[in-house]
Chain A
C-alpha cells in the first residue's frame, strides 16, 4: 500500500511535466533566422546603460554636493529633485520626456535620446543619495586636515573626500547600474529597438513569443550576472589594497 502511493506520487509529476512540455512545443528553429537580430539589441541595451550610468553618476555627484551644501536653495533643490524622481514611476517620466519634448520645444526627440536623458536624470537622483551617504561616512578629520592645509573646497572634495567616499559605496553603485540595465527594457515602449523590443518585433512577425522572450530573459540574466561577478572581483581587490 505504502509502495503503491509512493509510485503514484512519482508518476503524477512526470505526467504533468510531459503534458506541459507537449503543450509548450518549444521550437527555436522557427525564429533561428531572427536570433542575430534579437542579439543585436544587446549593444543598444548596453549603450543605454553605459551612457545613463556615466551621466547619472556625474549628475548624482553634483546633486549630492547640493544636498550637503550650506547654501539653502541648492539644498532644497537637491531634496525636491530627489523626492520627485523617487516618487514617480520611471515609465511615467520616460513617457513625459519622450512625448512632451516635441510639444514644448519643437525638437523631435528620438527614443534613444529620451531614454538616456530619463535614465540619467532618474539614476542621478538615486546615486546622489548613495554618494551623500558615502561622503557623510568619510571621517570629518579628513575635511579638517585638508582645510588646515589651506586646500579649498573643490580640490578637497575631488582629491580627498570623493575618492574615499566612492570606494566605500562601490557595491551600491554597481547595484544601481544593475537596476539601470534592467530598467533600460522600458525604452521598448517608446520605440527604441533594444533587446526586449526586438524580441517583441520577432514575436509579432512569427506569432511566437515564448522563444524570443526566453532568449532575451537569459541574455539579461547573463549580463546582470557578469556585472555582479566583476563587481565582486573589484571589491575583493579594493579590500586587499586597504
Chain B
C-alpha cells in the first residue's frame, strides 16, 4: 500500500494535562508507515489520551504532532481534513443508532468525500464483505452483537480510506467469544499495510500482530521495543512488574 520506512506519525515533546493532572509528559517518538504499534500499560497511564491526541480528540497542552509530514498541532491546520486521514475505532463502538449498517458506513464518504450514493454503496458493500457482515447491511446497530458492532465500526472507519487507524481498546467491551472475530479483522487490516496504533489489553494480539510495543507508565513511554524482546526481556523495571502481574 505504502512504501515502508517513511514516517507516518512524528511526535515531538507531547504534553497533555487535565488541570493540575499531568497525563502525558514529553512523549517523543516516530511511527513508520505500515507499522503496527501496540500501546500497553497500567490503567491511567495515558494510553487512551495519547491515542486521542493523534486525531486531536484531545488538544495537546504543548508539543508537536506531524502526520505524513504535516503539523496537525498548528492552529492553522484544518482538523477535519486531518481526521479524514486518521480513522478511529472506539471501545464502545459509537455506531449511529438511527442509521442502518449500510448508512453508517456510507454516511461519511457521501458527506465528507462527496462520493455519489451508488459509489458509496458499493464501497460499503466491499467493506462489509471484508468484515464478513454482508447479510447485516440493512440491520440497525441495536440488533447486532458487540463483535458485529465493532466490525461495522471498523468498516465505517475504513470507508474514509485513511492512511492511519487508531484503535482505542477495541475488544475491551466485548464478550470473550467475540474478541477473536474483531482481532481477526484488525489483523487483516494490518496485513493490508495500514499504519496502526492500538491501545489493547490483548497481549496475544500485541505479541503476534504488532511490530512495536509502547509500554506507557506515568505518562511516558517507559519502553519501546519489538514484541519478542518486550515480552521475553523487558528492560525497564516497571515493565517487568507490569508483565509479572498480567502474565
Q: Once the chains bind, are B80 and A150 in contact (CB under 8 Å)?
A: yes
Contact of B55 among A148, A151, A160 (CB under 8 A): A148
A159: min CB distance to chain B, Å: 7
Partner of B94, one of A139, A152, A159: A139
Total cross-chain contacts (CB, 8 A) = 63
Q: Is B111 in contact with A145, judged by CB distance below 8 angstroms? A: no
- In residues 57-113 of chain B, which contact A (Cβ within 8 Å)? 57, 80-88, 90, 92, 94-98, 107-108, 111-112
Give the residues in chain A near B142, CB-CB below 8 Å.
242
Asked if residues A150 and B81 are in contact (CB atoms below 8 Å), the reply is: yes
B108 and A151: CB pair below 8 A?
A: yes
Which residues between 151 and 195 of chain A lie within 8 Å of chain B, taking CB atoms?
151-152, 155, 159-160, 163-164, 167
B157 within 8 A of A: yes
| A142–B83 CB distance below 8 A | no
Q: Which residue of A lies closest to B96 (CB)?
A: A160
* A147 at interface by CB-CB < 8 Å: yes
Q: For window 118-170 of chain B, which residues contact chain A by CB distance below 8 Å?
A: 142, 153, 156-157, 160
Contacts of B97 in A (CB 8 A): 164, 242
User: Does A36 lie at the interface of the complex (its beta carbon under 8 Å from any beta carbon of B)?
Assistant: no
State A164–B85 Cα separation when bound (angstroms).
27
Query: How far apart are A110's CB and chain B's nearest CB, in angstroms?
Result: 41
Residue of B with least CB distance to A139: B94
Number of interface residues of A (CB under 8 A): 19
Within the assembled complex, what's the spacing in Å between the Cα atoms of A145 and B96?
A: 8
- Tell me if B90 and A150 are in contact (CB < 8 A): no
Q: How far is the CA of A242 from the CA of B143 in the complex (A)?
A: 10
A104 interface hit (Cβ, 8 Å): no
**Are A147 and B98 in contact, CB atoms less than 8 angstroms apart?**
no
- B57 contacts across to A, CB distance below 8 A: 144, 147-148
Interface centre among B84, B86, B87, B94 (most CB of A within 10 A): B94
The contact of A150 among B92, B108, B153, B156, by CB within 8 Å, is B108
Q: Tell me whether A147 and B90 are in contact (CB under 8 A).
A: no
When C-beta atoms are compared, the residue in chain B nearest to A145 turns out to be B94
B91 to chain A: closest CB distance in Å?
A: 9
In the complex, the answer to whether A150 meets B160 with C-beta atoms within 8 Å is yes
Q: Which of A147, A150, A151, A242 has the most CB of B within 10 A?
A: A150
- Is residue A149 within 8 Å, beta carbon to beta carbon, of the partner chain? yes
Residue in B closest to A164 when the chains form the complex, CB atoms: B98
A149 touches B96 (CB 8 A): no
Interchain CA distance A151-B99 in the complex, whole Å? 16
A15 at the interface (CB under 8 A from B): no
A148 to B160, CA, bound (A): 10
Q: Are A150 and B112 in contact (CB under 8 A)?
A: yes
Q: Do A149 and B108 touch (CB < 8 A)? A: yes
Known contacts A155-B111, A159-B111; decide if A149 and B94 are in contact (CB<8 Å): no
Distance of A61 Cα from B242 Cα, bound (Å)? 50
A151 engages B111 (CB within 8 Å): yes
Q: How far is the CA of A152 from the CA of B94 in the complex (A)?
A: 17
Flag whether A33 is at the interface (Cβ < 8 A).
no
What would be 16 A-B contacts, judged by CB atoms less than 8 Å apart? A141-B94, A144-B57, A145-B153, A147-B83, A148-B90, A148-B157, A149-B87, A149-B107, A149-B157, A150-B84, A150-B108, A150-B160, A151-B80, A151-B111, A160-B96, A163-B98
Chain A interfacial positions (CB closer than 8 Å to B): 139, 141-142, 144-152, 155, 159-160, 163-164, 167, 242
Interface residues of B (CB under 8 A from A): 55, 57, 80-88, 90, 92, 94-98, 107-108, 111-112, 142, 153, 156-157, 160
Using A141-B92, A149-B83 as known contacts, list a sample of 4 further A-B pairs with CB atoms less than 8 Å apart, ordered by residue number in A: A145-B90, A150-B84, A150-B108, A163-B98
